Amino acid sequence: MKDKVIYYFTSTGNSLSVAESISNKINANIIRICETTDVDCNSDMIGFVFPLYFWGLPNLVSKFISNLNIKSDKPYIFAVVTCGGMIGGSALHDVDALLKEKGHGLNLGSRIQMVSNYICEFKIKDDKKIDNLLRKAEIKVNEVSEDIVNKKSNKIGKTNFIYKKFYKKYISSCANQDSHFSVEDTCIECGICSKVCPVNNIDVEKGRPKFLHNCEHCLACVHWCPKQAIQWKDVTKNKKRYHNPNIKLEDMISEKSKDI
């Protein structure tokens, strides 16, 4: 086991691509967050990379950090949050607060604007804009990686009640958002949706997905379905799907990516 670890959560690969880039610089293990059961961590450099959800932490990420048993005395801890357009929010502050409950704290926090995958609300940007955003993001990732190599610290800052109010309202309704999914007849019964789901929320019954109402609302199933057959309410139909160009389906479903 290396003495450095990066725990990541991803649905469309932005956060995985950032975790991989940082890992290449610092030579860390990268481990996908899929479950929230207790995990022991002996590393003295610990990173968390995840997407921003409603200006805050994805449910799975908060539960994971809450349940993480940090064994080293004074680890260097960093967090990188990837997001779409709305780069503010309370996610870094919340990670810091969860760590403080364990007698630790966040040394370095960074937000990186990438491509918004939230097609329940927005459209995916055109390819040129995506290229641009990802090029800028790459520069930022290199800067952050350098800071991590040098074990730099920054001020995490405060959150505000507007972020919190918005976050609480939306994040608490995620588990049942899958009741708004429908599957079109173009489904080819490939089972990919079930394989990319980070929380095993999709059973495949007679080849077709059945949602189990323990959803993270991450939209991995929607974006990775090769036939765009999964729709959320009536708002995702005919909208382009997205995944980070550096990340392939195999990266999402390999055994290695489901280490935890």
Ligand X SMILES: Cc1cc2nc3c(=O)[nH]c(=O)nc-3n(C[C@H](O)[C@H](O)[C@H](O)COP(=O)(O)O)c2cc1C
Residue 51's binding partner out of ligand SF4, ligand X, none, with CB under 5 to 8 Å set by partner kind: ligand X
Residue type, 222: V
Enumerate residues 196-225 that contact ligand SF4 by CB under 6 A: 197-199, 201-202, 209, 211, 215-221, 225
| 23 counts as binding ligand X under rule CB under 6 A | no
Distance CA 102, CA 57 (A): 18
Distance CA 146, CA 188 (A): 45
Residue 174 carries which DSSP code?
A: G
Q: For residue 14, what are the CA distances in angstroms to 34, 126, 152, 206?
A: 16, 16, 23, 32
Distance CA 94, CA 109 (A): 11
Enumerate residues 103-132 that contact ligand X by CB under 6 A: 114-118
Among 125, 210, 227, 258, binds ligand SF4 (CB under 6 A): 227
Among 26, 120, 190, 253, binds ligand SF4 (CB under 6 A): 190
Minimum CB separation from ligand X for residue 75, in Å?
Answer: 24
Nearer to ligand X, 55 or 211 (CB): 55
Residue 12's binding partner out of ligand SF4, ligand X, none, with CB under 5 to 8 Å set by partner kind: ligand X
Count CA within 13 A, CB hemisphere, residue 42. Answer: 3
Q: For residue 169, what are the CA distances in angstroms to 56, 159, 179?
A: 11, 16, 18
Which residues sit at the interface with ligand SF4, rule CB under 6 A? 178, 183, 187-193, 197-199, 201-202, 209, 211, 215-221, 225-227, 229-230
Which residues sit at the interface with ligand X, rule CB under 6 A? 10-15, 51-55, 82-87, 114-118, 217-219, 244
